[in-house]
Chains A and B, each alone.
Chain A
Amino acid sequence: MGAFTLTVNGRRLTVDAAPDTPLLWVLRDRLRLTGTKFGCGAGLCGACTVQLDGVPSRSCSIPVSAVGARHVVTIEALARGGATGPALHPVQAAWIAEQVPQCGYCQSGQLMAAAALLAAHPHPTDAQIDAAMTNICRCGTYGRIRAAVHRAAREMAERPATARTAVGSDQEHRP
């Protein structure tokens, strides 16, 4: 066991865990951030995707000891809190507008991947979406995911202020 200091959704905290404990299980079992899902345990499906310094990362395959100083952002912090409740991130709003989720289990990971894609490529091509959105969805919402990524890109272009705080600026996010 060891003590690891992490920055999760803008909050610094210390967890006691075996060094090989995947970040996924620290988030879910210790920090009760259950929006990040277990899907395959082998980095294959992407249900566990979080952002590390804005980079989409499969938390089932990252030992807690390897996280270091990188800022962890989970689905719980994708919407920016405010006095009147959470303001949805443009990808979340687009996901609702396109009615993407069905069972919903993979969607946290899909959203974290999509937000990171848009931060890197504000106007992604279909080929960039193909390359970035590799998470598995057994409900087959892929067509709507593609449409929602394009929609979010349009929304963010029209409201650049939203786009700037989209990802990577995790300190601003409330856990």
Chain B
Amino acid sequence: MSGRELDRREFVRLSAAVGGAFLLAVALPRRALGMDDLVARERARDDAFAPNLWLRIDPSGDVTILSHKSEMGQGVWTALPMIVAEELDADWDRVRIERAPTTADFDSATGGSSSVSDSWDALRKAGAVARAMLVTAAARQWNVPAQSCTTERGVVAHAASGRRASYGSLASAAAQLPVPDASTVALKDPRTFRIVGTEMPRRDLLAKVTGTAEFGIDVMLPNMLVACVARCPSFSGKVARVDDARARAVPGVRHVIPLDPVPTQHPGRVAVLADDTWAALQGCRALAIEWDTSVDASVSTDAMWRAAREAVSDDAHALVVAAHGTPPNGADPARTVEATYELPFVAHACMEPMNCTAWVTADRAQLWAPTQFPEAARETVAGLTGLPLDKVDVHVTFLGGGFGRRAYQDFVIEAADLSKRAGVPVKVVWTREDDIQHDLYRPAQLQRLTAVLDSAGHPAMWTNRGVGMSQQRWWNPSTKTPQQRDGADNPPYDIPNYRLDFVEIPGGVPMGAWRSVRHSHNGFCIESFIDECALAAHTDPVAYRVALLDGKPRQQAVVQLAAERAHWGVPMPNGKGRGMAYFNYSGTYVAQVAEVTVAGDGAVHVDRMVCAFDCGTIVNPDTVRAQIESAIVWGLSAALYGEITVTAGRVQQHNFDDFRVLRLAETPPIEVYLVRNVETPTGVGEPAVPPVAPAVANAIFAASGRRLRRLPLVKA
């Protein structure tokens, strides 16, 4: 390849490999996470070819996918190799996935339900290119035309002569061949897939049922100290005074290090570094600290809701996000529907508390991190240490849950900072209280929706005003675009006239991406409101949605499928009801029906959840089902119980006793119905979250006549 002008469209290339292996480097499309606060950086690079995935075939016949996508429970460690193996015609039993080398320039963000959909084309082509090269190698050895050779399960065969050669035996010869232009390599007809679309057991489960899977919190290095950190209880406060004499007296405590606030990342803190975790925790408890929280004195959720309920009428400060035609103008009050919905702050509460291990020396930094975004971790630590990027390595462990929380760098900064100061490897371990009280919360938001219905009862004019603190403002105080929203926040129905806007109110609470990001707001508000419009139009909520989705057969089909499987329309006893919600999540179509019982005293019990789901081509159906089940339980926790409240900049919840999440006994039966087709794959991990809350709220209305417009629906 040397001396040739690099082709920017090129995305596969042979790499040097030792021991006769065939190593194909693949450049997957680069992507920011789709998170408002992270997308600002321009990700285009000057170098045309920046591989971020490798496909290796060893002489033994083992096929290894080297990937940077983080496995956080969503199953990418199984789904991504399935795509390559399909086009490669590999023997699935010989295909493994490993972490890619960390010193490479890579794009590694895992989030936004994007891993499969973004990688689909590139991984298929990479598998097909590798297969073509193996076929060419065999054809040359046998002196037969390549077109006369076939492949199956890791073998090239020539039927006429009966010759067969394993991929392993062809690897070193294939590695000497030029890489064909990917556009000339034929991809399989999806109807002939034999791996994609089948139920493949996950590759990470044996380790996860035997306790041997290594999570970030399990990392141990020689001479490592464990750090626990006393954090200022308010978001942006600082240490006024600290007396660490008793902490230093705790056996095993080695260092006590005060840490200044880091804007957008941390308040002031005092770190205790010790030989083990318990000593560090005891050291923290022995600190006598006077905090200065005056900067946060006015930050409270009560004040925020008062401000939001006032600001919703503040037309002068509304930032228009998207508008078309004539918005509702009060001209026809008889046909106007209006309702206001409120969603509180919610924490992520990943099961694995935040943690990171760092070893920073004068000429190198190494991180062991459960992170969704190792590339950002590298850049962050390079900036913090002054080391060049290629001297910063990130070893990504398994993630004990991600959900957006682990795309952020606060825990990485803390570990690197402490290792640099202490001169030894340091593992920072957050407590659950740290996690609940110093999260980056799903933004609280108020939405007021107004619709004017036409003669058929359909919304002809639509306004959606969002009000809340600005997530963008938290990350960038001088932002010119504080609005939380974009055009994707419009309803998934064709409404000829609309206006979408946002009124910002004073902030102070850290906010971040939370599984399904803005769509957790949009799902609840829009789909509750559509039910209210259906009521005003005297139309059945399912029939109403199907009519609004006229001309969109895939969307209509999921609504009808969920309704049919939930026995929509079959009468229910008093106190029980069904609720429908539909959502279009960037091309994944999802409909849910909740069944609930509302007792005489108003107590709500969710009895059943039915979900119909169309994400195009399905790579691993059981993983898709598992992700939907997961999203529904996640959505129920937030819909029923999830709320973070703040007084004087301090979160009032602490642990799982006062930040309640769903447990097994409360989890209803969940039925998932997957639509099978050969459309381009779209996202899976998040799309089933947004419809949960509105389906339940709509079911509560059906059961009791009570319209709940504020989450959580049940006080914890």
Q: Do A and B bind each other?
A: yes
Q: When the two chains form their complex, are residues A45 and B202 in contact, meaning their CB atoms are under 8 A apart? A: no
For the complex, give the distance between the alpha carbons of A36 and B210 in Å.
Answer: 10
For the complex, give the distance between the alpha carbons of A100 and B664 in Å.
Answer: 13
For the complex, is B247 an interface residue (Cβ under 8 Å from A)?
Answer: no
In the complex, chain A residues 20-71 whose Cβ is within 8 Å of any chain B Cβ = 21-22, 25, 28-30, 32-42, 44-45, 47
Q: When the two chains form their complex, are residues A140 and B351 in contact, meaning their CB atoms are under 8 A apart? A: no
Q: When the two chains form their complex, are residues A99 and B205 in contact, meaning their CB atoms are under 8 A apart? A: yes
For the complex, is B179 an interface residue (Cβ under 8 Å from A)?
Answer: no
Q: When the two chains form their complex, are residues B282 and A104 in contact, meaning their CB atoms are under 8 A apart? A: no
The stretch from B7-15, B72-80, B138-146, B555-563 touching chain A is B72-80
Q: When the two chains form their complex, are residues A142 and B202 in contact, meaning their CB atoms are under 8 A apart? A: no
Given known contacts A36-B211, A104-B208, what 15 new A-B pairs fall within 8 Å (CB)?
A33-B211, A34-B214, A37-B400, A38-B217, A39-B351, A41-B431, A92-B210, A99-B626, A103-B352, A105-B350, A136-B663, A137-B351, A138-B403, A140-B631, A144-B626
**A55-98 toward B: CB 8 Å interface, digit per residue (1/0)?**
00000000000000000001110110000001010001001100
For the complex, is A106 an interface residue (Cβ under 8 Å from B)?
Answer: yes
Q: Which residue of A lies closest to B74 (CB)?
A: A102
For the complex, is B629 an interface residue (Cβ under 8 Å from A)?
Answer: yes
For the complex, is A153 an interface residue (Cβ under 8 Å from B)?
Answer: no
Least Cβ–Cβ distance between A152 and chain B, in angstroms: 12
For the complex, is A146 an interface residue (Cβ under 8 Å from B)?
Answer: yes
Please give, as numbers and ranges, the residues of chain B lying within 8 Å of A161 by CB-CB distance: none
17 A-B pairs with CB atoms under 8 Å apart are A18-B279, A29-B276, A34-B214, A38-B429, A40-B655, A45-B656, A99-B205, A103-B72, A104-B204, A105-B351, A105-B352, A107-B208, A131-B665, A135-B663, A140-B662, A141-B626, A146-B664
Q: Which residue of A lies closest to B252 (CB)?
A: A18
Q: When the two chains form their complex, are residues A142 and B211 in contact, meaning their CB atoms are under 8 A apart? A: no
For the complex, give the distance between the alpha carbons of A103 and B629 in Å.
Answer: 14
Please give, as numbers and ranges, the residues of chain B lying within 8 Å of A99 by CB-CB distance: 201-202, 205, 622, 626
Interface core residue of A74, A96, A99, A136 (most chain B CB under 10 Å): A99
Q: When the two chains form their complex, are residues B398 and A140 in contact, meaning their CB atoms are under 8 A apart? A: no
Closest 3 CB pairs of A and B: A35-B211, A140-B633, A105-B400
For the complex, give the distance between the alpha carbons of A34 and B72 in Å.
Answer: 18
For the complex, give the distance between the alpha carbons of A146 and B401 in Å.
Answer: 21
Please give, as numbers and ranges, the residues of chain B lying within 8 Å of A131 by CB-CB distance: 665
**B188-221 toward A: CB 8 Å interface, digit per residue (1/0)?**
0000000000000110111111111111011010
For the complex, is B227 an interface residue (Cβ under 8 Å from A)?
Answer: no
Q: Which residue of A lies closest to B433 (CB)?
A: A41
Q: When the two chains form their complex, are residues B667 and A39 in contact, meaning their CB atoms are under 8 A apart? A: no
Q: When the two chains form their complex, are residues A101 and B210 in contact, meaning their CB atoms are under 8 A apart? A: no
If A40-B432, A41-B431, A42-B657 touch, whether A47 touches B351 (CB-CB below 8 Å) is yes
Q: When the two chains form their complex, are residues A95 and B205 in contact, meaning their CB atoms are under 8 A apart? A: yes
In the complex, chain B residues 647-665 whose Cβ is within 8 Å of any chain A Cβ = 655-657, 661-665
For the complex, is A119 an interface residue (Cβ under 8 Å from B)?
Answer: no
Q: When the two chains form their complex, are residues B351 and A45 in contact, meaning their CB atoms are under 8 A apart? A: yes
For the complex, give the distance between the alpha carbons of A7 and B504 in Å.
Answer: 60
- Chain A interface main SS type: loop
Q: Which residue of B lies closest to A101 (CB)?
A: B208
Q: When the two chains form their complex, are residues A42 and B205 in contact, meaning their CB atoms are under 8 A apart? A: no
For the complex, is A172 an interface residue (Cβ under 8 Å from B)?
Answer: no
Please give, as numbers and ranges, the residues of chain A lying within 8 Å of B431 by CB-CB distance: 41
For the complex, is A116 an interface residue (Cβ under 8 Å from B)?
Answer: no
Q: What size tier do the contact residues of chain B reach? A: 35 or more
Q: When the two chains form their complex, are residues B352 and A111 in contact, meaning their CB atoms are under 8 A apart? A: no
- With beta carbons under 8 angstroms apart, the residue of A30, A36, A38, A134 that contacts B276 is A30
In the complex, chain B residues 514-545 whose Cβ is within 8 Å of any chain A Cβ = none
For the complex, give the distance between the alpha carbons of A145 and B630 in Å.
Answer: 12
Least Cβ–Cβ distance between A39 and chain B, in angstroms: 6
Please give, as numbers and ranges, the residues of chain A lying within 8 Å of B626 by CB-CB distance: 99, 102, 141, 144
Q: Which residue of A lies closest to B399 (CB)?
A: A103
Least Cβ–Cβ distance between B679 and chain A, in angstroms: 25
Please give, as numbers and ranges, the residues of chain B lying within 8 Å of A6 by CB-CB distance: none
- With beta carbons under 8 angstroms apart, the residue of A29, A76, A78, A141 that contacts B226 is A29
For the complex, give the distance between the alpha carbons of A135 and B402 in Å.
Answer: 19
Please give, as numbers and ranges, the residues of chain A lying within 8 Å of B665 by CB-CB distance: 130-131, 133-134
For the complex, is B669 an interface residue (Cβ under 8 Å from A)?
Answer: yes
Q: Could you count the A-B residue pairs with CB atoms below 8 Å apart for me: how many are there?
A: 183
Interface core residue of A1, A35, A103 (most chain B CB under 10 Å): A103
Q: When the two chains form their complex, are residues A42 and B655 in contact, meaning their CB atoms are under 8 A apart? A: yes
Least Cβ–Cβ distance between A18 and chain B, in angstroms: 7
Please give, as numbers and ranges, the residues of chain B lying within 8 Å of A36 by CB-CB distance: 211
For the complex, is B634 an interface residue (Cβ under 8 Å from A)?
Answer: yes
Least Cβ–Cβ distance between B436 and chain A, in angstroms: 9
If A41-B431, A138-B661 touch, whether A96 touches B633 (CB-CB below 8 Å) is no
For the complex, is A129 an interface residue (Cβ under 8 Å from B)?
Answer: yes
- With beta carbons under 8 angstroms apart, the residue of A41, A92, A137 that contacts B432 is A41
In the complex, chain B residues 616-631 whose Cβ is within 8 Å of any chain A Cβ = 622, 626-627, 629-631
**B401-421 toward A: CB 8 Å interface, digit per residue (1/0)?**
111000000000000000000
Q: Which residue of A lies closest to B278 (CB)?
A: A25
For the complex, give the distance between the alpha carbons of A137 and B350 in Å.
Answer: 9
Please give, as numbers and ranges, the residues of chain B lying within 8 Å of A100 by CB-CB distance: 205, 209
For the complex, is B277 an interface residue (Cβ under 8 Å from A)?
Answer: yes
Least Cβ–Cβ distance between B384 and chain A, in angstroms: 26
For the complex, is A160 an interface residue (Cβ under 8 Å from B)?
Answer: no
Q: Which residue of A lies closest to B670 (CB)?
A: A143
Q: When the two chains form their complex, are residues B251 and A1 in contact, meaning their CB atoms are under 8 A apart? A: yes
Least Cβ–Cβ distance between B149 and chain A, in angstroms: 36
Please give, as numbers and ranges, the residues of chain B lying within 8 Å of A142 by CB-CB distance: 633, 662-664, 667
For the complex, is A139 an interface residue (Cβ under 8 Å from B)?
Answer: yes
Please give, as numbers and ranges, the residues of chain B lying within 8 Å of A21 by CB-CB distance: 278
Q: When the two chains form their complex, are residues B656 and A140 in contact, meaning their CB atoms are under 8 A apart? A: no
For the complex, give the distance between the alpha carbons of A95 and B204 in Å.
Answer: 12
**B334-349 toward A: CB 8 Å interface, digit per residue (1/0)?**
0000000000000001
For the complex, give the distance between the alpha carbons of A103 and B73 in Å.
Answer: 3
Please give, as numbers and ranges, the residues of chain A lying within 8 Å of B258 by CB-CB distance: none
Least Cβ–Cβ distance between A135 and chain B, in angstroms: 8
Please give, as numbers and ranges, the residues of chain A lying within 8 Å of B276 by CB-CB distance: 25, 29-30
Least Cβ–Cβ distance between B63 and chain A, in angstroms: 23
Interface core residue of B201, B208, B276, B432 (most chain A CB under 10 Å): B208
Q: When the two chains form their complex, are residues A139 and B664 in contact, meaning their CB atoms are under 8 A apart? A: no
Q: Which residue of A lies closest to B355 (CB)?
A: A38
For the complex, give the distance between the alpha carbons of A100 and B623 in Å.
Answer: 10
Q: Which residue of A lies closest to B219 (CB)?
A: A34
If A28-B277, A29-B276 touch, whether A111 touches B664 (CB-CB below 8 Å) is no
In the complex, chain B residues 281-332 whose Cβ is within 8 Å of any chain A Cβ = 281-282
Q: When the two chains form their complex, are residues B664 and A106 in contact, meaning their CB atoms are under 8 A apart? A: no
Q: When the two chains form their complex, are residues B656 and A44 in contact, meaning their CB atoms are under 8 A apart? A: yes
Interface core residue of B72, B279, B399, B656 (most chain A CB under 10 Å): B656
If A38-B429, A41-B431, A42-B655 touch, whether A75 touches B351 (CB-CB below 8 Å) is no
Please give, as numbers and ranges, the residues of chain A lying within 8 Å of B596 by CB-CB distance: none
- With beta carbons under 8 angstroms apart, the residue of B217, B400, B629 that contacts A140 is B629
Least Cβ–Cβ distance between B468 and chain A, in angstroms: 25
If A35-B210, A76-B210 touch, whether A140 touches B226 (CB-CB below 8 Å) is no
If A30-B276, A34-B211, A142-B663 touch, whether A42 touches B432 (CB-CB below 8 Å) is yes
Interface core residue of B74, B212, B403, B669 (most chain A CB under 10 Å): B212
Please give, as numbers and ranges, the residues of chain A lying within 8 Å of B629 by CB-CB distance: 140-141, 143-144
Please give, as numbers and ranges, the residues of chain B lying within 8 Å of A130 by CB-CB distance: 664-665
Q: When the two chains form their complex, are residues A107 and B209 in contact, meaning their CB atoms are under 8 A apart? A: yes
Q: When the two chains form their complex, are residues A141 and B630 in contact, meaning their CB atoms are under 8 A apart? A: yes
If A25-B277, A34-B218 touch, whether A139 touches B73 (CB-CB below 8 Å) is yes
Interface core residue of B209, B276, B277 (most chain A CB under 10 Å): B209
- With beta carbons under 8 angstroms apart, the residue of B75, B662, B663 that contacts A102 is B75
For the complex, give the distance between the alpha carbons of A99 and B625 in Å.
Answer: 11
Least Cβ–Cβ distance between A174 and chain B, in angstroms: 13
Q: Which residue of A lies closest to B214 (CB)?
A: A34
For the complex, give the distance between the alpha carbons of A138 and B435 in Å.
Answer: 14
Please give, as numbers and ranges, the residues of chain A lying within 8 Å of B209 by CB-CB distance: 88, 92, 95-96, 100-101, 107, 111
